[in-house]
Amino acid sequence: MPYSIEPFISEEDIQTKVRQLASEINDHYDGQPIVVLGILKGSFMFLSDLVKHLNMPLEIEFMSISSYGDDMESSGKLRIELDVRKSIAGKRVLLVEDLIDTGNSLFTNLETLRAKNPLSLDVVTLLSKNKRREKDVNITFNGFTIENKFVVGYGMDYAEKHRNLPHIGVVSFSNE
C-alpha cells in the first residue's frame, strides 16, 4: 500500500527533549554508576544522543527483542534475539526504549531482566502511546506522550525502513 511520511516531531524538538531527559536522569542517579541498556534496534539513535549528556560513569549494553515482524501490531510474544552479554547483577540498570505502545514487550522484558537481580531497574522511553496501554508498566522517564499514530524515524521503522531519519514522522496511507 502506498504511503507517505508526514513531519511530526522535529530534530530540534527531539534534541531539546533528549537534553531534558538526560538532566532528569543525571539528577536521579546523582553520580552513581549505571548500565545503559539499549533495546535494539529502535533505541540506537536515542541512546547515542542521550549518553552524550549523561555525567555519571556508565557502561553501554544492548539487547535485541522482537515482537513485531513487519507488522504494525504487537504480536504479544517476545523473542530474545540478542541477550545482555555481561552480568547486570547488583548494578543500576537504565533500560532505553524508543517507544512504549501496548507495554507488552516492556512488561515481559522487565520480568526477564528482574530475574538477573539488578540493584535497580529504571526505564527511559522517548515516546509513549499511553492510551494503547494493555500492561501496567512503570516508566521512570518519559519523553513525549503521543496519540495512536504509527511513527517512524530517529531509530524507528516501518518494515525496517526509515530508521535513519533525524526527525520523527507519521506514516500516512494514501487511502486514509
Binding site for Mg ion (CB under 5 A): 42
29/123 with CB nearer ligand IMP: 123
112, 150, 163, 167: residue in contact with ligand IMP (rule CB under 6 A): 150
- Given the residues 70, 101, 122, 136, select the one marked as catalytic: 101
Q: Sign of dihedral through CA atoms 65, 68, 74, 76?
A: negative
Half-sphere exposure of 98 (CA within 13 A, CB side): 19
Is 101 among the catalytic positions? yes
- Asked if 130 is part of the footprint of ligand IMP (rule: CB under 6 A), the reply reads no
- Rounded Cα distance, 95 and 113, in Å: 10
Of positions 42, 118, 153, 169, contacts ligand IMP by CB under 6 A = 42
C-alpha distances out from residue 159 to 104, 119, 124, 175, Å: 20, 36, 24, 19
Residue 104 makes contact with ligand IMP by CB under 6 A: yes
Q: Is 144 in the site for ligand IMP (CB under 6 A)?
A: no
Residue 149, classed as helix, strand or coil, is: coil
- List residues near ligand IMP by CB under 6 A: 42, 67-68, 74, 97-106, 150-152, 156
